Amino acid sequence: MEYPNIHLAKFIDRPNRFISHCRLVETGEVVTVHVKNTGRTTILQPGVTAALVHNHNPKRKTRYDLVAAKKYDRQWINIDSQAPNKVVKSGLESNYIHLPGIKTIKEVTPEVTYLDSRLDFGGKDDDGRPFFLEVKGVTLANQGIAAFPDAPTTRGLKHVQTLDRAIDDGYSAYLLFVIQMNNIQAMTIDRDIFNELAVEIGRAQDKGVHVIAYDCRVTPKTLELDQPVLFDLDQKFVSDGLPSSIG
């Protein structure tokens, strides 16, 4: 996927989950920006280079969306929480994403309801067998290890439990982590943040839920799926120690 109208800026601060202040590189103007990720990311530290999408809608309170940042001034990380589903949809439809047990994906339907949950995708393989797939975007990483979540998520826990129940009803079920950066060796769950999720995922894997991960190629204006990444529940994740950007 590609963003239009990208402008580079220097991140200043983030008073709350929804907005930040940034200084445009080309003009020096300080602008109020919508942050397209309400999580407790540590990427947005004062002075980092950020990528902003200019929006021309006159009804909006903010003229820009913050979609990516350059951690340690070395690596671009996409933080747009809506982007993973977009690249996954394309990856499923083109069969770029390999789902274990499925040779060819023939049908993809976004936002499907199952039981009392809404899952990101439903679909069928070339033999007409149905599956469900839930997507989780990942922006937390340190020393080549990516982790989820950046805060406790009861919604994420419910999704895993729903996939578990889908197995009982004869569906194939997949949990897909989209790591919104590159150069990642392994993907895991941060047990220090939400051990209950790690336990539930382990149970779901034992039941037959497939847990997979892909990293991404990221530039200020693009996000593309790259390669499968090993998912390892036993991999220890060590935080980078940076504070959350939310004031």
**Per-residue tens of pLDDT for the chain, all 247 residues:** 999 999 999 999 999 999 999 999 999 999 999 999 988 788 999 999 999 999 888 888 899 999 999 987 789 999 999 999 999 999 999 999 999 999 999 999 999 999 999 999 999 999 999 999 999 999 999 999 999 999 899 999 999 999 999 999 999 999 999 999 999 999 999 999 999 999 999 999 999 999 999 999 999 999 999 999 999 999 999 988 787 777 5
Answer left, alpha or beta for residue 21, where phi above 0 means left and psi between -120 and 50 means alpha.
Answer: beta
Beta-strand runs (E) in the chain: 6-13, 19-24, 30-35, 49-54, 64-71, 75-78, 105-114, 117-125, 130-138, 140-142, 145-148, 172-179, 186-189, 210-219, 222-231
Which tokens sit at 142?
Answer: 């340190």
Beta bridge partners of 30: 23
Domains and CATH numbers, the chain: 6-78 (2.40.50.580), 83-231 (3.40.1350.60)
pTM for this prediction? 0.95
